[in-house]
Structure 1
Amino acid sequence: MTDTLPPAVADAFDDHDSFEPAAEGYRVTTTVFDPTVTATDIEGVGHEYTVTVRTPMLGAAVEGEVVGPAVADGWFDTFARRLEDATQATRAQIELDQHRLVADDGQAVATFVFSYGDPDQAAAIAKTLVEYVEGTYVEGIVPGYDYREPVADLIQNAKTAGDNERGGTPL
């Protein structure tokens, strides 16, 4: 619940257009995935933020076909390596206290934990991390499969955004 968050954090996230209160913390509304951000007080530092983004595993995103283990494992390993660079997308200097990507019941669950003093800037950092996960996910979509929602929407948006003359997958 948002009432369990530090008041300064709740105020910052309430003031940010990209967040809405969720059962636990806040949900980022700018992505099709299921991202949440929570925070706790850290004495003398500010707050510790936990950003969690749930995306479908490649096999769970594919419609009607079986993704072989070599492709599925390679996709997951590559996704994990790419997410290691997530902090480079932020406009702030942050070091992650923790970062992990785990497979959980057909989902790839990315978690980033960082400490930051300014709740307003932390909201922007959290949003950037979530959008980095989505963008990295789109970059890793393997051509040749039919995808179900929400991945099919991401592919369609990537095809029609920007240079409409190109077409094809985001790769």
Structure 2
Amino acid sequence: MNYHFRKAELSEIAQIWKILQQAIVRRKEDGSDQWQDGYPNPEVVQKDIEKGEGFVLVEGETIIGYSAVLINDEPAYEKIEGNWLTNDNFVVIHRVAISEKYLGKGSAKMIIKFIEDFALSNNIYSVKADTNFDNIAMMKIFENLGYTYCGEVFFRGSPRKAYEKVLVKSF
């Protein structure tokens, strides 16, 4: 398969929003409160892309996944109830969503691996992320990929499980 991970373009907001809407419905069907309050929305995606932080996973020309990727930019992470593994520069993963047709094929793991490569290419050796307490699928992905549970962070008044992975420099 021919997969690429690249910055999203403003012209792709509709396709990305369709994938996020599918994920919002899946979260609800799983009994999760995550993403059930009007966030994320197309305006959030537009801001991600305008700031150069919106990324898509594509197979050929087809967008199959979306994620926001930020560097050192998550104020909520300063107030963790617990402890991060590192205090150096870090990459943040937000809003991972996979197209309905590509579920169960390891696409979310692929996005996270691409983000880890992105971090290393920027000489950053820490990736941090968080998820809702009831997003079992995402917690399993983090654990399977070697992320360490570090404590709780709070977004819009809700506690979230915070994870970090320290990447190894490759020579």
User: Normalising to structure 2: TM-score of the pair?
Assistant: 0.31
Question: Which has more radius of gyration?
Answer: 1
